[in-house]
Amino acid sequence: MAKLKTKWVCQTCGYETFSYLGRCPDCGNFSTFCEEVVQSAVELKSNSSPSLILNSALRAKRIDEVSSDEKIRIKTDMEEFDRVLGGGFVLGSLVLLAGDPGIGKSTLILQTCRNITKDGKTALYVCAEESEQQVKLRAKRLKVEGKNLYVTSQNCLEELLVQLDEIKPDFLVVDSIQAVFSSQISSSSGSVSQIRECTNILMRIAKQKNITTVIIGHVTKEGNIAGPKVLEHMVDTVVNFEGDRYKSYRVLRSIKNRFGTTMEVGVFNMEDDGLSEVKNPSELFLNPFEENNCGCSTIATLEGTRVLLLEIQSLTGTTPYPNPRRVARGIEYNRLLQILAVLEKRVGINLSKQDVYVNVIGGIDIDEPAVDLGVALAVISCARDIPLKRKTVIAGEIGLSGEIRAVDNIEKRLKEAQKLGFECAIIPKTQKDLNLSKFDLKIVQVAKLTDAIKAAFEK
């Protein structure tokens, strides 16, 4: 097959050249050139011939003629994964599964293949990074059997398309997109243009042949999905697989989903025989010690539709520096600064000569304001060296005048706390739609931060 003609295009200003340049002569930015395929005039013309457009299903319809059936979903048989996807893989969609090397992406997707092929569907697993034997070894560990799962280590996309026609799978996995290449482009596999072109082709195939496709992508040191940002725009769904490599649990989070919410998370535990679902993650993250330590509080936060009870830890100490340090892990940095400012102004706790560290246990990022009160109480507990009341769960947003503001879904949060054996809850007074008689908890409703402090530290 003849090589395609390519050009180099600056991704910032669109300047074009026929060879790679380190710095764009037009806009002056460095390392912004990407290789792109030059389409000849003949090709462009044939692509847009009127007969082709008329025959296609993409012809304009009146909106009331468009069928509104929920697209058929393929269930992964793993509740945690299905929920993150919005109820399973949508037929013919392209999903990008991204994560650090070694986090367990291949394991998760092989388990998914195992479950999907159980009820007669066919899957093709392209292990472009590993040999078929290596995949077989992993498959043995994961107890993958079945005649409907095909494996190939072919990493040339054009050859793969031939195999696709033969096998006609319902489900296709490309592990990883950085390791496959199209022979139409001269740059090496993993380069921006290869990744983009291969994804483009896979997207077209997925839609045309209704093959649900998952592409696996590595994450760079900076935490971006390797390859251009366009990769995220091209696919239907982007799912991130995260976690601490030295701990066994992993968090699956959707960061883009054309067919569902991006609020959901799924939690898994890496074990000897693969990933197991963690149905109740709060138990995993909570402190097993009965006694509360100084500087610790437990909050009830919402991750998508699910309540997570998480422990917040805080440490304060006299600073040796002119500017005290503020470190926030798991909560937004500016949120911490705001909470500290309210503590100083409305409660009179002076932390201007103290370093403050706040950490959410479990490596979970919380971005809802309901975390405020828990953080404030953890900081006060450490600064004053007194532990919070035992088995107390906290939820509430702090306003700038020190008032505690209502949070969403309070009954759901309280229910979860009760289920896990908590005895007391400190929540906002302004909370509506709350039926206290439903709960077997001591519920303290507070209007001001000062009231919350009283409630949290009284014996």
Round to whole Å and give the CA distance between 358 and 356.
7
Q: Is position 111 an interface residue for Mg ion (rule: CB under 5 A)? A: no
Q: Angle at the Cα of 409 (from 404 to 413), degrees rounded to 5? A: 85
Minimum CB separation of residue 221 from ligand TYD in Å reads: 15
Secondary structure letter of residue 378 according to DSSP: H
Q: How far apart are CA 395 and CA 427, in angstroms?
A: 5
Mask of contacts with Mg ion, 11-40, x by CB under 5 A?
A: ------------------------------
Angstrom CA distances, 198 to 36, 147, 162, 168, stand at: 12, 28, 15, 19
Residue 22 or 102 with smaller CB distance to ligand TYD:
102
* Segment interacting with ligand TYD, rule: CB under 6 A, options 35-43, 97-105, 385-393, 444-452: 97-105
Helix (H, G, I), strand (E, B) or coil at 270: strand
List 50, 102, 120, 223, residue binding ligand TYD (CB under 6 A) = 102
Q: How far apart are CA 413 and CA 395, in angstroms?
A: 8
28 binds, among Mg ion, ligand TYD, none (CB under 5 to 8 A by kind): none
178 vs 431, beta carbon nearer ligand TYD = 178
DSSP H or E segment with residue 230: helix 230-234
Give the nearer residue to ligand TYD in terms of CB position, either 107 or 445: 107
Give the range of 99-107, 301-309, 328-336, 440-448 binding Mg ion by CB under 5 A: 99-107
Does 178 participate in binding Mg ion (rule CB under 5 A)? no
Instruction: Work out whether 151 is an interface residue with ligand TYD (CB under 6 A).
Output: no
Where does 249-335 show beta strands of DSSP type E?
Answer: 249-257, 265-271, 274-277, 296-303, 306-318, 326-329
Residue of this chain nearest to ligand TYD (CB atom): 106
Q: Is the dihedral of CA 26, 30, 32, 34 positive or negative?
A: positive
According to the binding rule CB under 6 A, does residue 141 interact with ligand TYD? yes
* Residue 217 makes contact with ligand TYD by CB under 6 A: no
Binding positions for ligand TYD, 241-300, rule CB under 6 A = 270, 272-274
Amino acid at 46: S
Q: Give the interface segment with Mg ion, choosing from 103-111, 131-139, 153-161, 309-317 (CB under 5 A).
A: 103-111
Q: Does 106 bind Mg ion (CB under 5 A)?
A: yes
User: Where does 172-258 have alpha helices with state H?
Assistant: 192-209, 230-234
- Helix or strand or coil: residue 297? strand
List the one residue from 101, 133, 143, 305 that touches ligand TYD (CB under 6 A). 101
Which residue's CB is nearer to ligand TYD, number 33 or number 171?
171
Structure-token pair, residue 75 = 């269930």
Name the β-bridge partners of 10.
Answer: 33
Locate the DSSP E strands across 38-167: 73-74, 89-90, 94-99, 123-127, 149-152
Q: How many residues in the chain?
A: 459
Residue nearer to ligand TYD on the CB measure, 269 or 409: 269
> Which residue stretch of 137-145, 203-211, 385-393, 426-434 sits at the interface with ligand TYD (rule: CB under 6 A)?
137-145
Query: Is 28 one of the binding residues for ligand TYD (CB under 6 A)?
Result: no
Q: What b/e sequence results for 90-102 when a residue is b if at least 16 CB atoms lie within 10 Å of its CB, and e otherwise?
A: bebbbbbbbbbee
Binding-site size, ligand TYD (CB under 6 A): 15
91 binds, options ligand TYD, Mg ion, none, Cβ within 5 to 8 A by partner type: none
What is the DSSP secondary structure assignment for residue 39, as one 8-state letter?
P
Q: What is the amino acid identity at position 246?
A: Y
Q: Which does 412 bind (CB under 5 to 8 A by kind): Mg ion, ligand TYD, none?
A: none
CB of 131 to ligand TYD, least distance (A): 13
Q: Which residues bind ligand TYD (CB under 6 A)?
A: 99, 101-107, 138, 141-142, 270, 272-274
Q: Which residues bind Mg ion (CB under 5 A)?
A: 106
